[in-house]
Amino acid sequence: MKLKALVVDDSRVMRNIVMQTLRHAKLAEFEFTEAEDGQDALAKLQSAKPEIVFCDWNMPRLTGIEFVRHVRSSSANDHIPIVMVTSEKSMGKIMDATDRAGADAYICKPFTAEELQQKLTKIIEGLGQRKPAGGFFSKLLGGS
Amino acid sequence: MLTTPCCNPLPTGFSDCVRDSVVSTFACIIGEDPLRESGPPDAAFDGMMGVISFVGTRPWSLLLGLPRSTAEKFAVRFVGFEMDFEGADMVDTVGELANIIAGDVTARLEGIDMHVQMGMPSVARGSHLEIALPDSVESFFQGFSTSDGPFWIRVATPRSDGSGVRRHLCPACGHEV
């Protein structure tokens, strides 16, 4: 069983880096879907039904922060953890994303597999607890 | 030196923020601190140029110049595999490098009370690339060297007095004065 993840970035190279580093972090086994901007991500949210989203900030059409606000205002998807993965590092932006818009974690580019482990372990564990017992996550977390 | 009054009309600390961002970003990506070079300003070159603009307290643009060989080596360090210099991934990579520097410098500038927002990066690729700035723009140049090759940045901002008087390059540091 795999964790469905949506990776949103207008840079194909950056999407690959995010997916590659997540694999190296070994937090879970992922099944990735890619989106090129916030608008594309909203569509893929319906079709791919991701369990977690990794989202850039500066993108054409619909930015990452607008995407987060959109998702959080919809009762159908407001439970999906959203991780901002962005080069925006200012405190104001971080607070905008996490405190005001409702992103669950904030990762600044460039990042390492260790940083992903540090910031995502709790979120991934939380997702595991939502899954039915005996599945991939209960094995991952040491359950029977 | 970059701090002499005739050569550095940008806010105090601004150029240091930019240079520190470049060094720390590339140190993280290529695993070594790029060394500042005191050589002459950028001449026309073959390679890639990433450009990103900022608006806020004072509008400005950051230009990142990567000779072809440096760009190819940095791309491997950043992405983990070799890529075609002529391909779309190389454009993506250089744009992303400019973007990451821009994010870092934006955060650092808050420390000197300069609040800016970064735009989307654009990238140029070609032979004999050169920068031609209008007279209404002032700029500074900084070259760097690494074991993967040289690269440079140029920062351009509107003249604070709004004048469009033709300037010349300071022979000591390469600033337009």
Angle in degrees, CA B67, B73, B79, rounded to 5: 120
The per-residue pLDDT string of chain A (144 residues; one tens digit each, 9 = 90 and over) reads: 689 999 999 999 999 999 999 999 999 999 999 999 999 999 999 999 999 999 999 999 999 999 999 999 988 888 999 999 999 998 889 999 999 999 999 999 999 999 999 999 999 988 877 655 444 444 444 443
Per-residue pLDDT at B3 exceeds 60? no
Which residues of A are less than 8 Å from B80 in CB distance?
17, 20
Distance CA B42, CA B48 (A): 13
Distance to chain B for A110, nearest Cα, Å: 7
pLDDT for position B97 = 96
B residues 71..100 contacting A (CB < 8 A): 78-80, 88-89, 92-93, 95-96, 99-100
Share the mean pLDDT of chain B. Answer: 86
Domains and CATH numbers, chain A: 3-140 (3.40.50.2300)
pLDDT in tens, B19-56: 999 999 999 999 999 999 987 766 889 999 999 999 98
Pick from B28, B80, B120: CB nearest A110: B28
Per-residue pLDDT at B9 exceeds 60? no
pLDDT for position A139 = 47
Kindly provide the ipTM of the predicted complex, given to two decimals: 0.82
Distance to chain B for A15, nearest Cα, Å: 10
Domains and CATH numbers, chain B: 14-35+44-130+140-158 (3.40.1550.10)
